[in-house]
Chains A and B, each alone.
Chain A
Amino acid sequence: MSHRLEKGGRLIDRAKRLDFTFNGKRMQGHAGDTLASALLAGDQMLVGRSFKYHRPRGVVAAGAEEPNALLGLGEGQRFEPNQRATTTELFAGARLVSQNHWPSLDYDLGAVNNAFARFLTAGFYYKMFIQPRPFWKHVYEPVIRQTAGLGRAPEAETVDADRYEQVYAFADVLVIGGGIAGIAAARAAAKAGKRVILCEQTAHWGGRAPVDGVVIDGETADAWVTAQIEALRGMANVTLLARTMGAGVHDHGYVLAYQRLADHEPGADKPRHRLWRIRAARTITATGAIERPLSFAGNDIPGVMLASAMRDYAVNWAVAPGRRVVVVTNNDDAYRTAIALHDAGVNVRAVIDARDAATGPLPDAARTRAIRVIPATAIRQVEGGKRVTAVELCPQHGDGAEASERIHCDAVAMSGGWSPVVHLWSHCGGKLTWDEAQAAFRPDPDRPPLGHDGQGFVLAAGSANGEMTADAVLADGHAAGLGAAGARSTPAPRAETEPEAPLAPVWMMPARAGYTLRAKMWLDPQNDVKVSDIQLAAREGYESVEHAKRYTTLGMATDQGKISNINGLAILADSLGRPIPQVGTTTFRPPYTPISMGAIAGEARGTLFQPLRHTPLHDWHAENGADWEPVGQWRRPYCYRRADETREEAVRREVRQTRDSLGLLDASTLGKILVKGPDAGRFMDMLYTNMMSTLKPGKCRYGLMCNENGFLMDDGVVARLSDDAFLCHTTTGGADRIHAWMEDWLQCEWWDWKVHVVNLTEQYAQIGVVGPKARKVLEKLGTDIDLSKDALPFMDWRAGQLAGMPVRVFRISFSGELSFEIAVPAGQGRALWDRLLEAGAEFGVMPYGTEALHIMRAEKGFIMIGDETDGTVIPQDLGLNWAISKKKDDFLGKRGMEREAMIAPERWQLVGLETLDGSVLPHAALAPLEGENTNGQRKTQGRVTSTYHSPTLDRGIALGLVHRGPERMGEVIEFQGDAGRMIAARIVETCFHDKAGEKQNA
């Protein structure tokens, strides 16, 4: 049984005990434990159930490559599923639950899937759920939805209690990996004066070397690491980041690193995770190597673990996986596990070596300890259900038809060799080469990921670079640091290392095992993919490694295939009769291991989710019942609702009062762009369809802007400020866009024209003073501007003082009422608004929102960009031919709108629509015709572009585009409403109210 050893444990503090629960059961660990080491110390090897077959699953590894030990952690707002027990530090009061079983971990009904394993092979999804068709929606989908996934999602309305943030950092050399290679690299680069960031995904520095008893420059690896880290900490040009994983390498040296600040102390008042967004001139991946399992029958039974993981538990956490351990290997490194366990007092029954001979210092050291070494032998199968009970042996060079021996044991340490961690090298295009001797893919130094200058910007170092002995690892790390720093050669630290005999590639144990055994050889224990599944995929024609992956789901689980990919593609290669390098690997994609959504969001939640824009009058609107409407990132009042009012009632009230007396509109969001310079007039004539250069100072003109295709894209009033200056108003949504459009033309096309454009949208608050009493209220405020009808006619503007504040007054009207738009510096906008409310009280002044604005303009037949336009509408469609100058040689869109399709008389044109029964036409309603077009679509003759209930006319009104509309005045056509109901509407003029414009010209 797994248990805590009495002595040792370099990472635990035995003085500090931490209580926790697992599935409600009380357990205890030490500070420094991971969840996995604490569970194993308490003899809890069984930690979950596999995805497909619900087979019992135990801890396999000690690091991020762990496929099985995924637990639900925490409660309430901090509950999180799928937490990896091997990389989660234990803390006091931790609440752990296992996943993917019902009713319990020990007795799971889902295990019935196991009985049908024969039918639930790879790719069964694509065959089984085809028929009967009705079952898709009513049976298969609901059942699969229930059973899919591993962990339980947090409750629907849970809000994450933690905070997250991001930080931008820059470095000359970024070193990812805090083992001896990374430390040597960081030291070399830092000593050369470079800015260095060194990050390590665990809480501890040193990696494998302290566990494997490496000696460096005469001291233990532990001592060497401690001294090096101290030295690095004292260097001003070095940043050390522990608990920080290199997540992804992106173009131009942009690297994401994921720092877990508070996972080991939940509830601490600090950000839980911090995402480092690093730009590094050079990145060194010193990310180590991951051990491969061996494929033998029953290699998924709890108690079968990676050999290096077993010695990690023994040395780092003083945890033994069992009392009677068998080691199975194809290489010398696994003997270190036998030796470490033996020296810790664990009974190592035997080392099963698949190679014909086991020679060299490491096997000899095992024999010295009277550990039995059995060469040329395989594990035939493992016995046991929820726990290993014994192993059967057979010759490796055979078919395993019979067992040669049986050994009682409760744990099996397996090693199929080591795979360099090449993920970060590969993310941005680094290529791999197959190392035949190591049976591993390693970075191809001739094909690194390339930066903007065609130079490689990533270097691999140490085991990540395919070096597997301590001396080579150190030398390689040192060299990488020098290389990244562009520094002269200096002596590297030296490690003592035992020579190792070569490994023998063993992709199946025994070599010629039959189907029954192969169907129990696990490749991917999380997704339940076996050797037989890959062979089936090959037989069915899924020969590309990418196809085989998806057909079988090998490597698609949360561990991203870290211990299964290489073994799987070796089986595929063998099935296809191709060499492994020809089969290749699947694509490595960031992140290296999963990162939290919180880290990706950073601070952007709640009020920081998006940058909402407020006008200078925002607070008044908020305090006075504004119903907010999003207009881009602005928030504008849709209407101001009084107590007990519906929106419709509020809008009606606002429209009526404005037309009867006096309304106020916050128009601050409209774009205001200054166009100034000797060539301003020439520029304006190109931008607008109108002739703008003839506009005189003091005057305004309504203008249209089209894109090069001739489509109408924005409209607004232009004011001539002076001989060389214009002020362009744009729609709210168009301000930034039109500013950019202007700059684009000036910078890229007409760069020699003398024009400047300045976006002044936010410099001014703008208030619409609208209604028959508008002039009176302004005069009441006191002004030096003559506001009389003759002095300030419609479409003129004046500058002066109003209520003691500097203003521009534009006599423009979107409502059709007597209307003055007042521009005042934004810092005085609220003051002016308050004065207008005060002075307007006697007239029943009423602020109105965007809906009243829309209705009033529709009553006048004024178009709205985005309603009457949709990117395919030209001004001529909307009866705006008068705004298109015939005297200009050229303007943006001129040639576009002269194309055949644009001048066709068949184009739909803007008309007014009145339903016969006074109701409101539905939004975007279509007017169908009999028959279908060549696309098989029902023919149509019109569509509604704007539709409202008009409080002024007390009936529904609409604007729409209708085939040859202006020629069909008075005709009644039908529009389609809900559920096919047809609504009759008469085609009328677009202006419904005050056609002569008497009110606006008053």
Chain B
Amino acid sequence: MREPVSALPGARYSGIVTVAEGGLRGMIVLRGDLASKPLAKAVKEATGQALPGTRQIALGKKGAVAWMAPDELLILTDHATVGTTLSKMEAALAGEFVTLADVSDARAVFTLSGAAARDVLAKACPVDFADFPVGSLRRTRAAQVAAAIWRSAAEEFTLVCFRSVAPYMWDLLTTLARPGGEVGLYPAEGAGTPR
């Protein structure tokens, strides 16, 4: 058995929202000067995306690019080819002051799907989800652990945390999504409509 596994393969729960483990995802940390043209070019090559703005994620079929800090991006790509992608980017950025590191295995990914996704997240994350269109991203905490969350679709949020706390995160999200705990704080609506 040599195939890599994600933290909680196949985990799925249906409650106020559907919580699922997001499976294997390729993830590369990129540290460097985000104003650098070679950096933007290498990112575009690897993902098809331009650099996102502050607290945004640029989502696309070939990959995604998430703003993590003033000098940090997270590149999301196919897990099976992350090594190749990383090597290509290293080659393209040789000589630049840039650091690339594979962190695909260091994280666990979860998705929350459903009209009440913002309500459920609001129970754990001190984030204002009004005016939070698709492509919005926050680095925050979910209850007691660090998490990055973004709106990946109108009724889907993606959450990333460290692999070691995947069991905690699973228990947390399924507990908060348990029927009976409806809040009605954020009304269901299309992506991009303010509140």
Contact = CB atoms under 8 A, between A and B. Distances in A.
Do A and B belong to a common assembly?
A: yes
A615 B164 CA distance: 6
A271 B104 CA distance: 36
B1 A170 contact: no
A280 to B, nearest CB: 11
A831 B183 CA distance: 43
Interface residues of A, number: 54
Given A167-B123, A758-B99, A828-B4, A607 B171 contact: yes
Interface in A817-835: 825-828, 830-831, 834
A165 B173 CA distance: 12
B171 to A, nearest CB: 5
A616 B166 CA distance: 10
B2 A167 contact: no
A831 B178 CA distance: 34
A611 B2 contact: no
B148 interface: no
B60 interface: no
B4 A825 contact: yes
Most B CB within 10 A of own CB, among A195, A279, A613, A761: A613
Given A268-B180, A763-B103, A758 B29 contact: yes
A602 B179 CA distance: 16
Contacts of B162: 613, 762
Contact of A165 (B29, B168, B181): B181
B181 A271 contact: yes
A676 B168 CA distance: 32
Contact of A762 (B97, B105, B123): B105
Nearest to B168: A611
Contacts of B29: 758
Contact of A614 (B103, B167, B181): B167
Interface string B178-195: 111101010100000001
Interface string B68-90: 00000000000000010000000
Interface stretch (B35-43, B46-54, B126-134, B150-158): B126-134
A758 B31 contact: yes
A674 B29 CA distance: 12
A608 B122 CA distance: 17
B163 interface: yes
A271 B172 CA distance: 14
B14 interface: no
A831 B97 contact: no
B26 to A, nearest CB: 11
Interface string B105-148: 11100000000000100111111101000000000000111000
Nearest to B166: A614
A742 to B, nearest CB: 13
A612 B176 contact: no
Given A195-B195, A756-B31, A603 B163 contact: no
B126 A269 contact: no
A806 B84 CA distance: 14
A585 interface: no
Contacts of B32: 756
Contacts of B145: 611
B172 A608 contact: yes
A608 B171 contact: yes
B91 interface: no
Most B CB within 10 A of own CB, among A166, A758, A830: A758
Contact of B2 (A268, A274, A277, A803): A803
A165 B125 CA distance: 12
A114 to B, nearest CB: 48
A827 B4 contact: yes
B123 A166 contact: yes
Contacts of B125: 168
B130 A195 contact: yes
A568 B164 CA distance: 57
A387 to B, nearest CB: 44
A760 B103 contact: yes
A758 B167 contact: no
Contacts of A168: 122-123, 125-127
A806 B162 CA distance: 21
B19 to A, nearest CB: 14
A178 B61 CA distance: 50
B56 interface: no
Interface in A757-785: 758, 760-764
A165 B122 CA distance: 11
Interface in A209-255: 236-237, 239
A678 B97 contact: yes
B176 A603 contact: yes
B103 A165 contact: no
Contacts of B168: 607-608, 611-612
Nearest to B167: A614
A806 B102 CA distance: 13
A548 B107 CA distance: 58
A733 interface: no
Given A611-B144, A612-B167, A834-B1, A167 B185 contact: yes
Contacts of A270: 180-181
A615 B105 CA distance: 12
A634 interface: yes
A485 to B, nearest CB: 16
A805 interface: yes
Contacts of A401: none
A737 interface: no
B183 A167 contact: yes
A613 B32 CA distance: 30
B164 A634 contact: yes
A643 to B, nearest CB: 27
Contacts of B167: 607, 612, 614
Contacts of A677: 97, 99
Interface string A336-364: 00000000000000000000000000000
Contact of B164 (A268, A613, A825): A613
Contacts of A602: 143
B6 A827 contact: yes
A487 interface: no
B24 A827 contact: yes
A302 B31 CA distance: 73
A255 B123 CA distance: 16
Contacts of B1: 831, 834
B102 A763 contact: yes
Given A758-B29, A763-B103, A831-B2, A169 B195 contact: no
Nearest to A271: B181
Interface in A482-521: none
Nearest to B107: A762
B117 to A, nearest CB: 14
A827 B83 CA distance: 14
A830 B5 contact: yes
B39 to A, nearest CB: 13
A613 B123 contact: no
Contacts of B185: 167, 169, 239
Contacts of B172: 603, 608
Contact of A611 (B83, B105, B165): B165
Contacts of A93: none
Contacts of B2: 803-805, 828, 831
8 contacts: A165-B181, A168-B125, A168-B126, A236-B187, A271-B180, A279-B126, A613-B162, A762-B106
Given A169-B185, A603-B175, A828-B4, 5 more contacts: A165-B176, A603-B172, A762-B105, A763-B103, A763-B105
Interface of A: 163, 165-170, 195, 236-237, 239, 268-271, 274, 277, 279, 602-604, 607-608, 610-616, 634, 674, 676-678, 754, 756, 758, 760-764, 803-806, 825-828, 830-831, 834
Interface of B: 1-6, 24, 29, 31-32, 83, 97, 99, 101-107, 119, 122-128, 130, 143-145, 162-168, 171-172, 175-176, 178-181, 183, 185, 187, 195
| Shortest 9 CB-CB contacts between residues of A and residues of B | A827-B4, A613-B164, A270-B180, A756-B99, A826-B105, A762-B106, A763-B106, A170-B128, A756-B31
